[in-house]
Copies of this chain bind each other. A is one copy, B any other.
Amino acid sequence: MAASDAPPYRLFYWPGIQGRGEFVRLALEDAGADYVDVAREPQGKGAGEQAMMELIGGPGRQPPFAPPFLEVGELRIGQTANILLFLGARLGLAPNDEAGRLWAHQLQLTIMDLVAEIHDTHHPISSQLYYEDQKPEAKRRAADFIGARLPKFLGYFESILAQGQATEPFFVGATHSYVDLSMFHIVEGLRHAFPRSMKRIEAGYPMLLALHARVMRRPRIAAYLSSPRRLRFNKQGIFRHYAELDHPPLKP
């Protein structure tokens, strides 16, 4: 976090989980951006979880519907993929031309669709209920996810990487982008949540694994992952390990 005259980025996200905020954190960390993780700061002076809650849903100008959101200068930006669209241009983590910018964003939105489906494996009925109150439904949904949806998404992303011309795997053109950082986290999360299924299928996606390894070697990412700023996976976030959801047999 280099000192700077520029106003720091202020990230707002639930303090106890990686969640969707993690995709933003990875971009900020990879770029060495000066940022504050507001809801994880001590309460008071516009910091802490309460400061975040006061901004959600108003009555202030342009309230976000939900975290994460990002403030910088006069801007307040919500929706994970929208934040990355903005940061990609500012932090040099996306192409500058319109076509490249739209393509990177399209891939990110597809990643966010996958994230929503991963969340719903353990919460297929209601976000307000505990997992334990929707377990039979979660088992059915997770079986469909692991058997059909996951291979479809991973196969799609693998095919995009396979189109690349560079010697190393990149999603957008021949350079590193925020999409790569997000996909790194998807692989991390899937290995945590569904270790048995991933062990069975991941070798079928060699480019995704190479991308994961490449991102992990980036010095700022490596430093971040071993820092206290990186939260651990747990049973409140999106990627949760419930052994009973990791059982279903894959389609042949």
Residues of A within 8 A of B (CB): 57-59, 61-65, 74-75, 77-79, 81-82, 85-86, 98-99, 102-103, 105-106, 109-110, 113, 116, 120, 124-126, 128-129, 134, 137, 140-141, 144, 148, 153, 155-156, 159-160, 163
Contacts and interface: CB of A to CB of B under 8 A. Distances in A.
A230 B77 CA distance: 34
Given A103-B62, A126-B148, A109 B141 contact: no
Contacts of A155: 57
B102 A163 contact: no
A163 B61 contact: yes
B102 A75 contact: yes
A88 B79 CA distance: 18
Report how many copies the assembly holds: 2
Would you call the interface of chain A mostly helix, strand, loop, or mixed?
A: helix
Contacts of A137: 124-125, 137, 140
Give the residue among A102, A120, A134 with the most B Cβ atoms within 10 A. Answer: A102
Nearest to A153: B65
Contact of A159 (B59, B103, B144, B156): B59
A66 to B, nearest CB: 8
A141 B127 CA distance: 10
A125 B61 CA distance: 37
A78 B106 contact: yes
